[in-house]
Structure 1
Amino acid sequence: MRLRTAFFGPLLATATLAQNGTKSTKYAVQTPPLTTNWTYTVGTNPWPEYPRPQLARSDWQSLNGIWTYQNTTSLNGTPPFGQVLPNEVLIPSCLESGLSGIQGEYTIYSWFRTSFTVPSSWAGRQVLLNFGAVDYEATVYVNGNNIGFNRGGYFRFELDATNYVSFNGTNELLVFVHDPTDSGDYVIPIGKQTLRQSHIFYRPCSGIWQSVWIEAAAANHIIQLDVDANMYGTVNITVYSSGESQSPVQILVGSANGSSATAYNGTSDVPFQFTVPSPKLWSPDSPTLYNLTVILGTDQVTSYTGFRTISKGVVGGVVRPLLNGEFIFMFGTLDQGFWPDGLYTPPSRDAMVYDLEVLKSLGFNMLRKHIKVETQLFYQACDQMGLLVIQDMPSLRPLQDYFLSNCTSETILPDPAQQAEFDRQLDILVNQHKSFPSIVTWIIYNEGWGQVIAGYPEFGLTDRVMQLDPTRLVDSTSGWYDHGAGDYSDNHHYANPQCGTPFYSIESSPFDPSRIGFQGEFGGIGQNVSIEHLWNVQQAINGINQTYEIDETIDAWNYRSHALLTELKDQTNLFSCSGGVWTQTTDVEGEVNGLLTYDRRVLRPNVTQWKADIQALYDAAASRSNSSMTFGTDYGYDRAYRIRDLFWK
């Protein structure tokens, strides 16, 4: 069944006259099936913050705001140069969302247009056009010139617009977007998005859903920073330049209290390192960050880092995740990052951070970012607040079948070219996010979604991720099908946990004591709420009873939560449990199993009880620990051990 919302609010009748004499319908928030406290506070200047905090420039200009939009059927035909398109649209936003002003369906092919001016003071420098994320394929035109193409709905990209812009007048920016989601034979990374909404799969996000901006840079400028600062004070850094030639680089490292900075010298485009004496370490309890200024010739950017080391080691006879050489019990939520008014795009940074503040206040020290990639400001907030992040790769087209002519079916899986594209985008995920201190683990596959079983390609992908980022752990298969790759033996089970235990269900593999015992998902218990807090779409409401368990009252829900958290504590005391992921941060569409309702207006947990239960998990983990380790305090040795294991499997 295809989604039909309960109510689509009307566009405002007033219109502006386009330059070509046609009318463009004025922007207005469309009434979504559910609002939040932020829905009508967004305005027309959304997300004004600089979007890329780990490579920030001072000379920049946001292009967020009101653009014009036109739905189309394909890229064929002449691009609509010089035209104001029929509808105003808010950028960034998902076209299917109320905040976009469109709230469309099947927005597979789209045109977006805006105009901008370039400050005259930028003359003589490069003008860089940046997109935070466009789902899924973007073809970009400036002043009638095709200046670039990008594929991949979750990742930033940058285009050099210098030769195509005018410094003396208005410039036209036109973007064509193709987002097939799960239509036709497309098998692409989509996470929980679908054109066929059902209980655990949601309304998709098409279009320019993260910030757009221009900035000025030197001819030879910094295009990427890879920074890892470990617990010993060693900073490993690579400064990539647009010139692709080795040039002198200076790094200024601000002290923890911001009172002074120390200069270190290196060379661009090759790794180099230096040591900061006696750094204050980053952890959830003390999320200390150090400011960086990076200078390459006349180009200068600011960034930051945190000193910490992530590894694994044997503690008290059990393989454990280690932060700064000590066992850390990681406990967090399945964080899906959907919003009823914005879908993939939170209404604002304040709204986005609210979810994180709720988690931190309850005592969680981690979240699992579930098959979605967020704006870089999200990871900066986790760095600042001290929330560990387990980062999923967005899944390929999950849990769908082809129906064959012989009345049988087969699971939709990627062909070799689609698998190669998944592999390429996995590389991008790691490379664009590996400098955020809060990220501790990469997850490649969730519950076998899009996972080719023949030949066990997760081994090769695990090796690839370890090569790209030797500073973190890898959870190759969260849930199933687990053939032994990676650092985790990860169990999914609802509602009760089975974490590092000598018992398991047929949906997960037996616990492997040579790897970290982890409860990748559990809980998921639901509690229905009144219609004012529900996603008011009948198809979603009809699916509420598909929730793993429904508790009829808040008291019952908290009672059951206490029982399940106590069970996880017992498994930590008795067996080899090193952490877990509670499903989930918020309700989403037809799921009513969040700590928060989908509108973020109702917090289900009894705060006193939950804080005590979460602290009890940490206490149980501490009681199993001791100061002796078989291996793992030295990260290089631990990494060698892991790669050896990978090839022996």
Structure 2
Amino acid sequence: MQRLFTSAGETLSGTPWNTYPRPQLVRKDWLCLNGKWHFTCGGTETEINVPFCPESLLSGVNIKMEYGREMVYSRCFTVPEEWEGKRILLHFGAVSRKATVRINGKEAVSHEESYLPFSADITDLICEGENEISVTAVNDLSHQHPWGKQKEKRGGMWYTPVSGIWQTVWIEPVPERYIHTLTIHTGRDYAEITVNGADDGAVEMNGVCYPLVRGMVRIDVKDPNCWCPENPYLYRFTVTAGEDRAESYFALRTLTVERISGIPRLCLNGEPYFFHGLLDQGYWSDGLYTPAASSCYESDILAMKALGFNMLRKHIKIEPEQFYYDCDRLGMIVFQDMVNCGEYHFLRDTILPTAGWKPLNDARLNRDQAARENFLKTMDETVRLLGNHPCICLWTIFNEGWGQFRADDAFRRLKALDGTRFVDSTSGWFARKLSDVESLHIYFKKLRTGKQDRPQFLSEFGGWSLKIPEHSFNLEKTYGYKKYENRETFVRDLKALYLEEVLPMISRGLCAGVYTQVSDVEDETNGLLTFDRKEAKVTPEEFRDVSDRLCKAIKEQA
């Protein structure tokens, strides 16, 4: 396999990801604990560059893991003197999969999910001067917990697993009573902000102070500036509660299903909108789950916006919050997948559905009770974690039947948590009764709309391979649904696919489309960018007009 570095990976130096990791609750003081840690696993004892997983090039370890074996990370840190008298909170963005954290030999916190952040108050465990932090982690690739596309035997549409710490580790000081989280609900002209952890205080925005009443405040906005990809306006505010102070933001936008000329449409801010998207796996050639720098997200987003895309379907992965913040501020809609649990069966979940077979009932699918409970718990936590981000406009619950069970019950549960966004219950196939969209995956046939009287969503299509050898991970194997040898033919056919098949479907109810995909990933060479992000297979000059015609077409339907 070729060692491929992104441009950011080639120039990586200093403390990686030294960027404030929680953009929706920003405090002035914090300390990044990324960088060099001592690392042991089996017979390997070395330094590792956190937050990059040991399977990655950027970690400096780049080993073949023995899954199920313990990894131990350790390093020392000193709490700044000016934080004396404060509570000290320790935060992990994510560790895959199980983690036990100790401070000076005493357990501080344990956690069992690969894609969610966790924290601990370590005030009573630290001492003056130097402190030791250690993390014992195990990635057992358990399918009873969300696992995404990680496979020990990677290949095709399955990728190298990600073990151990893969997001930022950091500490911050807070007063005895502090702001825990913010919950923000918005409409077209108002925002309701709940400050969890505080009853008294105030929110200040644009020079106006709004007092908290039992930890809540409503801000009515005159002449609202509504968020959309073409105008990603953010309202920034400051929360003060006792001695604590934090900065945050919200955006105003609405998502509704409206019947336009007799056809159900997905509407953004009351107007039919074509959600023109790409599948985004969130893998990088040198860091796997973690790009070399937080700025890499901005580069991907802007590259896709330059082509005219306005949406990314974040595929069965939860990113660091920086990704969603960049989408918020740059104007990129996100359709966010839940991360799959349970077993995948090639015959049941891929071959038979592609041929047209569908189960009559999903109540008996994925009958592992632990997997069901962990999936639903993680779904709930995902909504709570990301729910304040205006860029997220749709949640996907199940993808192609992977771990699917009782989809209608899951739809009701998710809608109870968040009734403001669209929900795609079953992306691809195995549809049940409840969903805001009819969601189809079509790779080997002529594109078409479905038969249900609901907004039509072509949630995956394309996946065409154009392999550029010098920027490809696997020179021996190529994965894609149609293979091209030269760029000119690929671009010609890509434009024709959109203009001759996608465009006519808009008048028949198509509201959103997701082409596979943003970038190559390992064996897959079906991205619009190479795995190392160094080559684009289509340029804005070649494709922007196609995107403009799609977005104009849906406005004409109104």
TM over 0.5: same fold?
yes
Query: Post-superposition shift, 1:487?
Result: 0.4
Structure 2 match to 1:534: 472
Structure 2 match to 1:490: 439
Say if 1:572 and 1:621, in contact at 8 Å, map to a contact too: no
Greater RCO, CA 8 A, separation 6+: 2
Query: Residues of 2 paired with 1:272 and 1:571: CA distance?
Result: 46
Structure 1 match to 2:196: 240
Query: Post-superposition shift, 1:304?
Result: 0.9
Aligned mate of 1:122, from 74, 79, 83: 83
Aligned mate of 2:251, from 306, 311, 314: 306
Structure 2 match to 1:461: 410
Query: Residues of 2 paired with 1:236 and 1:480: CA distance?
Result: 37
Query: Residues of 1 paired with 2:97 and 2:340: CA distance?
Result: 14
Q: Structure 2 matches for 1:212-231, cutoff 5 A?
A: 212-231=169-188
Query: Residues of 2 paired with 1:226 and 1:159: CA distance?
Result: 20
Query: Deviation string for 1:297-329 (max 9, x for gaps)?
Result: 111111111111122211221111111111111
- After TM superposition, the structure 1 stretch with the greater mean CA deviation from structure 2, 104-113 or 485-494, is 104-113
Structure 2 match to 1:188: 145
Check 1:592–1:91 CA distance in 2 against 1; reply closer, same or farther (3 A cut). same
Say if 1:313 and 1:322, in contact at 8 Å, map to a contact too: yes
Say if 2:146 and 2:374, in contact at 8 Å, map to a contact too: no
Say if 2:210 and 2:217, in contact at 8 Å, map to a contact too: no
Structure 2 match to 1:327: 272
The one-letter amino acid of 1:181's match is L
Query: Residues of 2 paired with 1:487 and 1:289: CA distance?
Result: 27
Q: Structure 2 matches for 1:205-604, cutoff 5 A?
A: 205-231=162-188, 233-241=189-197, 247-254=199-206, 261-268=207-214, 272-397=217-342, 399-400=344-345, 413=366, 415-452=368-405, 457-495=406-444, 498-499=447-448, 501=449, 510-513=450-453, 515-530=454-469, 532-536=470-474, 541-542=476-477, 544=478, 546-604=479-537
The one-letter amino acid of 1:114's match is R
Query: Post-superposition shift, 1:48?
Result: 0.7
The one-letter amino acid of 1:275's match is D
Query: Residues of 2 paired with 1:211 and 1:56: CA distance?
Result: 15
- After TM superposition, the structure 1 stretch with the greater mean CA deviation from structure 2, 100-109 or 333-342, is 100-109
Query: Deviation string for 1:242-265 (max 9, x for gaps)?
Result: xxxx621311123xxxxxx22112
Structure 1 match to 2:353: none
The one-letter amino acid of 1:235's match is A
Query: Post-superposition shift, 1:567?
Result: 3.1
Say if 1:188 and 1:397, in contact at 8 Å, map to a contact too: yes
The one-letter amino acid of 1:36's match is T
SS of 1:187 mapped into structure 2: coil
SS of 2:527 mapped into structure 1: coil
Structure 1 match to 2:100: 139
Query: Post-superposition shift, 1:352?
Result: 2.4
The one-letter amino acid of 1:464's match is R
Instruction: Find out whether 1:175 has 2:125 as its counterpart.
Output: no
RMSD, matched Cα: 1.9
SS of 1:141 mapped into structure 2: strand
Query: Deviation string for 1:407-457 (max 9, x for gaps)?
Result: xxxx993511221011101111110000001000110111111113xxxx1
Query: Post-superposition shift, 1:495?
Result: 5.0
Query: Residues of 2 paired with 1:146 and 1:252: CA distance?
Result: 39
Say if 1:187 and 1:413, in contact at 8 Å, map to a contact too: no
Query: Residues of 1 paired with 2:39 and 2:152: CA distance?
Result: 21
SS of 1:248 mapped into structure 2: coil
Check 1:469–1:294 CA distance in 2 against 1; reply closer, same or farther (3 A cut). same
Aligned mate of 1:151, from 108, 112, 121: 112
Instruction: Find out whether 1:162 has 2:133 as its counterpart.
Output: no
Say if 2:297 and 2:326, in contact at 8 Å, map to a contact too: no
The one-letter amino acid of 1:194's match is K
Say if 1:44 and 1:90, in contact at 8 Å, map to a contact too: no
The one-letter amino acid of 2:437's match is Y
The one-letter amino acid of 1:99's match is L
Query: Deviation string for 1:335-385 (max 9, x for gaps)?
Result: 111011000000112222211110011111111001111110000100111
Query: Deviation string for 1:479-521 (max 9, x for gaps)?
Result: 011012220100100155635x2xxxxxxxx4311x2111001
Query: Residues of 2 paired with 1:341 and 1:414: CA distance?
Result: 37
Matched residues, percent identical?
35
Rg: which structure is higher? 1
SS of 2:194 mapped into structure 1: strand
The one-letter amino acid of 1:158's match is S
Query: Residues of 2 paired with 1:367 and 1:569: CA distance?
Result: 17
Instruction: Find out whether 1:88 has 2:47 as its counterpart.
Output: yes
Say if 1:89 and 1:100, in contact at 8 Å, map to a contact too: yes
Check 1:51–1:565 CA distance in 2 against 1; reply closer, same or farther (3 A cut). same
Query: Residues of 1 paired with 2:37 and 2:85: CA distance?
Result: 28
Query: Residues of 2 paired with 1:284 and 1:421: CA distance?
Result: 34
The one-letter amino acid of 1:112's match is Y
SS of 2:340 mapped into structure 1: coil
Query: Residues of 2 paired with 1:302 and 1:414: CA distance?
Result: 44
The one-letter amino acid of 1:559's match is R
SS of 2:257 mapped into structure 1: strand
Query: Residues of 2 paired with 1:429 and 1:512: CA distance?
Result: 29
Say if 2:97 and 2:163, in contact at 8 Å, map to a contact too: yes
Query: Post-superposition shift, 1:571?
Result: 3.2
SS of 1:585 mapped into structure 2: coil
The one-letter amino acid of 1:123's match is E
Check 1:429–1:497 CA distance in 2 against 1; reply closer, same or farther (3 A cut). farther
Query: Post-superposition shift, 1:458?
Result: 1.3
Query: Residues of 1 paired with 2:400 and 2:42: CA distance?
Result: 36
Say if 1:478 and 1:520, in contact at 8 Å, map to a contact too: yes
The one-letter amino acid of 2:394's match is T
Query: Post-superposition shift, 1:586?
Result: 0.4
Number of matched pairs: 540
Query: Residues of 2 paired with 1:272 and 1:482: CA distance?
Result: 40
Query: Post-superposition shift, 1:97?
Result: 0.3
Structure 2 residues without counterparts, runs of 5 or longer:
348-363
Query: Residues of 2 paired with 1:580 and 1:347: CA distance?
Result: 29
SS of 2:180 mapped into structure 1: strand
Structure 1 match to 2:361: none
- After TM superposition, the structure 1 stretch with the greater mean CA deviation from structure 2, 273-282 or 172-181, is 273-282
Say if 1:401 and 1:412, in contact at 8 Å, map to a contact too: no
Query: Post-superposition shift, 1:603?
Result: 0.7
